[in-house]
């Protein structure tokens, strides 16, 4: 009997360190886009596995409830679809720092966000 991997999103998968965040946005990071989300990523030896950051700018959504809803949609889409992507990263032998940036000023449905996150994960997997 095979067990499927659990769809969890642990603290160790979150990118919290200011040093690593600076490393992600400076230097030789790459980005892929699937509107309304852009993903910036860079390989890192300080991290094992994949660490992600989700950012929704206050400039686009003035109310915190709206920003939190969009972040929750992205986080949920990543949590449900991350397993194949994590396996690809593990085969490369390095860790990966990823930032999901919401670039639109319009709220989208959860299904649409999930399709876009899956597309971004596929593009990042090809780019590795």
For position 7, what pLDDT does the model report? 80
Is the pTM above the cut of 0.85? yes
Confidence label for 5 from pLDDT (cuts 50, 70 and 90) = confident
For 27-53, what is each residue's pLDDT tens digit? 789 999 999 999 999 998 888 889 999
Which tokens go with 77? 């889409």
Helices 83-92 and 64-81: angle between axes, nearest 10 degrees: 70
For position 102, what pLDDT does the model report? 97
For position 2, what pLDDT does the model report? 58
For position 92, what pLDDT does the model report? 83
For CA atoms 82, 84, 26, 108, the dihedral sign is negative
CA distance 20 to 97: 8
* Burial 76-114, CB ≥16 within 10 A → b, else e: bbbbebbeebbebbeeeeebbbbbbbbeeeeebeeeebb
For 53-110, what is each residue's pLDDT tens digit? 999 999 999 999 999 999 999 999 999 999 999 998 988 888 999 999 999 999 999 9
Structural domains in the chain, sorted by start: 13-127 (3.30.230.10)
């Amino acid at each position: 009997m095979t067990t499927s991997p659990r769809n969890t999103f642990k603290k160790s998968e979150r990118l919290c360190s200011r040093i690593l965040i600076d490393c992600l946005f400076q230097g030789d990071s790459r980005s892929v886009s699937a509107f309304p989300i852009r993903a910036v990523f860079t390989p890192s030896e300080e991290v094992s596995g994949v660490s992600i950051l989700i950012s929704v700018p206050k400039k686009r959504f003035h109310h915190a409830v709206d920003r939190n809803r969009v972040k929750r949609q992205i986080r949920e889409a990543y949590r449900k679809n991350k397993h194949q992507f994590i396996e690809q990263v593990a085969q490369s032998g390095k860790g990966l720092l990823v930032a999901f940036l919401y670039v639109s000023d319009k709220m989208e449905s959860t299904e649409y966000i999930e399709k876009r996150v899956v597309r971004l994960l596929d593009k990042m997997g090809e780019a590795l």
